[in-house]
Structure 1
Amino acid sequence: MNWRNLVAALVAVALGALAWRTGRWAGLVFLAGVIVLWVLLHVTRLMTVLKRAADRPLGYVGSAVMLNSRLHRGQPLWKVIAQTRSLGELQTERDAQPEIFRWRDEGGTYVDCTFADGRLTGWQMIRPAEPARPPEEAPAEPAPESPVAQA
């Protein structure tokens, strides 16, 4: 059990005690209504994010460079999906921890994001290697025209 679950349980108990003390059963019913409203708002937000992501190709992002600049540690997976508006392409085995997802742009640049327990722990942006170009040759100068004898 991590510290967030412990804090959430303590806050729930404290709110329940406060609701009971101020309004008895009416206070508890009010608290239950507030909790249900919060859960519905959260589910609606998640469904909106997933609906937008369903309309885009898997693992696609408009600009991998912009995604790289907007990421920060501890960010939940659903917020990264909201930024990219696309589900990431899973690079690891299913249900293995940590999970690595990849988002790629049209230029071939991609960002690999590592998530542990649904939170971003690290990321790496990879740009494609530049193809080796032959050295540019000096433009060929036209050969001087030879005088042609006119008959």
Structure 2
Amino acid sequence: MKKMMLVVLIVGSAMISPVQVKADVSMPCSAVLEPVTTDNANAKGAALVYKVKLTPSFPRTSVSIHANHLPVPSTAGDYDGYEGFTFIPNEISWRFKLFPTPEEGSPTWAGRIDDITADITNSTMEVRLSNTKTGKLGPVILRNTMNACK
């Protein structure tokens, strides 16, 4: 009976309060965003993550993304741009527009969001296709996690 109680206690405590795996990430940091398919092997990006204090209130987290050699958005369907997409799985997400530079051929796409208040230690950062007219977010082109942030 004592063994049975011990097993129930151990299993019950593991189910009720599972250990959360947290990355050991200090800010500021950056992560290389890698292509999710071999179709976009030349595409690469970088995410810069750090704390900013833009108002008298508490600091926020800023995520900025810089991406190069992305395919022309319309080649993947009904898309006309790119967005940065940062999310904590099953919790919250943030979208922000990436703007192209005026370079010909293959512009650099860049943008940022400065008002994240959540702890984004276990988040993922992506570059995704988007349709600015419909608000539709498309497939992921580049991705990495805060665990890769150095």
TM-score normalized by the length of structure 2: 0.29
Higher RCO, 1 vs 2 (CA within 8 Å, ≥6 residues apart): 2
> Could you say which structure has the higher strand fraction?
2
> Could you say which structure has the higher helix fraction?
1
TM-score normalized by the length of structure 1: 0.29
